[in-house]
Amino acid sequence: MADAEVIVIGSGIGGLVAASLLARYGKSVVVCESHVLPGGAAHGFSRRGFHFDAGPSFFCGLGEGPSLNPLRQVLDALEMSLETIAYDPLGEYHFPDGTFPVYCDRDRYHDEIARVTPNGAAEYRQLERRLGKLYKGMRQIPTLALRSDWQAIPFLAQHYPASLLKLLPIAGLTQKTVGEIMDTCVRNSWVRRTVNLECFLLSGLKAYGTIAPEMAFMYGERHHAKVDYPRGGSAAIVQALVKGLEKWGGELRLRTHVEKILVESGQVTGVRLRNGETLKASIVISNATIWDTYRKLLSSHHLPPAYRKEALELPRLNSFMHLYLGIRAQGLEDLRGHHVVVLDNTMDINVPGNTCMVSIPTVWDPSLAPEGYHGIHCYTLEPYKSWKLDAQYEERKQRRSQSLYRALDKIIPGIRDRIEFEMVGTPITHERFLRRYQGTYGPGIPPIQGIFPLNQTPVSGLYRVGDTTMPGIGVPAVAASGILCANSLVSPQQTWQLLQDVGLA
Ligand SMILES: Cc1cc2nc3c(=O)[nH]c(=O)nc-3n(C[C@H](O)[C@H](O)[C@H](O)COP(=O)(O)OP(=O)(O)OC[C@H]3O[C@@H](n4cnc5c(N)ncnc54)[C@H](O)[C@@H]3O)c2cc1C
């Protein structure tokens, strides 16, 4: 007797989307989450009255209004909604040579670039026009209609023939990197640096490492949909997905670490938990990273050796140093919520410690901190390899967090005098609390090295979702991976019915 039709390992956004959609399709689903809180990188946690987003805090199109965000489509399918707070400007880029405000409103954004470089603004508009063609193409077909098996094209040909035809002229553009497109229209060094930075923020790689549709989606959504923050933080997104899962009959088990994926004669049969219990199911979906799934969860003999080797060699991005602060807010009335600080122009933006991301969500949602205080999350890339839990750990932690303080000082001078609460996270913290191999941000696959793996694996009944599958890193992307996986496990007719129910047919 099976314990469920589908077991999902992990409650990251990718896992929750796959699980809740499958529950919506009528399957019995159990999600096993190792941590005490759901959400993976997107979980929220509280300390001394401050509520922090562990990771993501930049979102678009979650609330009302037009949006291509796949997560919104999933929430609609689950009949769940989120209360969101729209804001503009989106934040500030702090370069050593000056601070640049980033507006979602396209004209304001162009005006700000023109203040720095009129010629560059004209070139940037050309880049935007080219990427805009891709974004227009993406609007033709809802992500909720996509699947990752052979039935994808016949399904689209049957239900979206006109849209497919409209996509033909831009098919070539979808294969290009942002760098290649930028080379055709942008020479200005200020604009090139800014575009490289924006690609890096999105994919962890600069313009030549970022595939054009990814950037087209980001630019398009930034200007067309609202940039909005869920009231209650990223945890509110997770809560909505968990509620949606349960509403449609699925189950989430927290503190339930999966030790092994069980396979007999090439077919998945279930999972074994750390407490020794076995859960049976003929479909298992792993939301753990590809490295965790194939190194730890699946015994090596279940995979063809060449496939396993190639999978484990997928290029990996660094981990992070994190700083979570609670500070006194007096005199900071004009503070903006997002900041990116580049400390040194002579170093590459991807050098660990040089580019620091700062999020102050209490600017939009003051309920996330005690009255009169702000909560801050500041982070930068950090290699995993030099980190050990040894006698020098605490000292190294303080030393390596200094660049984060230097970055924060540019936004809030004298910030150390305001601190009420401080918590420093290292790659070891990231690895431990997100259960991610070496605390990695995710795969960094330059487009010339190939594409992200699909949901399917060589083991019958075993699937994967999350940021080590197509289309990659980021909340909308992992939501898309969950959709692709769930749709591949049901008939095209069921998906068409769902699209009709949601009003996307
Ligand atoms: C610091 C930071 C900032 C970011 N900022 C943004 C942003 O602003 N906007 C944006 O869109 N994206 C952002 N991202 C990226 C985005 O958050 C991630 O790409 C996405 O959340 C990853 O989701 P996932 O589905 O791959 O799963 P993960 O978040 O990796 O979750 C996997 C889950 O599986 C569980 N698990 C693993 N192994 C087991 C096991 N053996 N048994 C049981 N459970 C297990 C883990 O505990 C975890 O809960 C950010 C990421 C980070 C780290």
What is the pLDDT, as a whole number, of residue 448?
78
CB under 8 Å to 126, separation ≥6 — which residues? 185, 186
**Ligand 1 close to Cβ of residue 14 (< 6 A):** yes
Alpha-carbon gap, residue 339 to 348, rounded angstroms:
18
Every domain of the chain and the residues it spans: 6-43+67-81+230-314+453-502, 123-224, 319-439
Segment 108-155, tens digit of pLDDT? 999 999 999 999 999 999 999 999 999 998 889 999 999 999 999 999
Q: How far is the CA of 461 from the centre of ligand 1 (A)?
A: 23
What is the pLDDT, as a whole number, of residue 386?
86
Ligand 1 nearest-atom number relative to CA 16? 25
What is the pLDDT, as a whole number, of residue 346?
95
What is the pLDDT, as a whole number, of residue 1?
78
DSSP 8-state assignment for residue 114: H
Q: How far is the CA of 14 from the centre of ligand 1 (A)?
A: 8
What is the CATH code for 6-43+67-81+230-314+453-502?
Answer: 3.50.50.60
What is the pLDDT, as a whole number, of residue 458?
98
Instruction: From 434, 468, 437, select the one nearest 454 (Cα to Cα).
Output: 468
**Ligand 1 close to Cβ of residue 434 (< 6 A):** yes
Segment 109-121, tens digit of pLDDT? 999 999 999 999 9
Ligand 1 nearest-atom number relative to CA 42? 21
What is the pLDDT, as a whole number, of residue 207?
96
Structurally, at CATH architecture level, domain 319-439 sits in: 2-Layer Sandwich (3.30)
DSSP 8-state assignment for residue 211: B
DSSP for 210-241 reads SBHHHHHHHHHHHHHSPBEEETT-HHHHHHHH
337 close to 359: Cβ distance less than 8 angstroms: yes
- Distances, alpha carbon 391 to alpha carbons 184, 200, 218, 248, 387, in Å: 53, 34, 43, 49, 11
Mean pLDDT in residue range 416-420: 97
Q: How far is the CA of 356 from the centre of ligand 1 (A)?
A: 19
The amino acid present at 9, given as its one-letter code, is I
What is the pLDDT, as a whole number, of residue 488?
98
Segment 45-86, tens digit of pLDDT? 999 999 999 999 999 999 988 889 999 999 999 999 999 999
Q: How far is the CA of 349 from the centre of ligand 1 (A)?
A: 23
Ligand 1 nearest-atom number relative to CA 467? 26
Cis peptide before 471 (omega within 30 of 0): yes
What is the pLDDT, as a whole number, of residue 446?
83
What is the pLDDT, as a whole number, of residue 7?
98
Q: Judge whether residue 89 has pLDDT over 90.
A: yes
What is the pLDDT, as a whole number, of residue 396?
96
Mean pLDDT in residue range 22-44: 98
* Site of tokens 């602060």: 325
What is the pLDDT, as a whole number, of residue 174?
87
Alpha-carbon gap, residue 496 to 11, rounded angstroms:
26
What is the pLDDT, as a whole number, of residue 66?
80
What is the pLDDT, as a whole number, of residue 489?
98
pTM exceeds 0.95, yes or no: yes
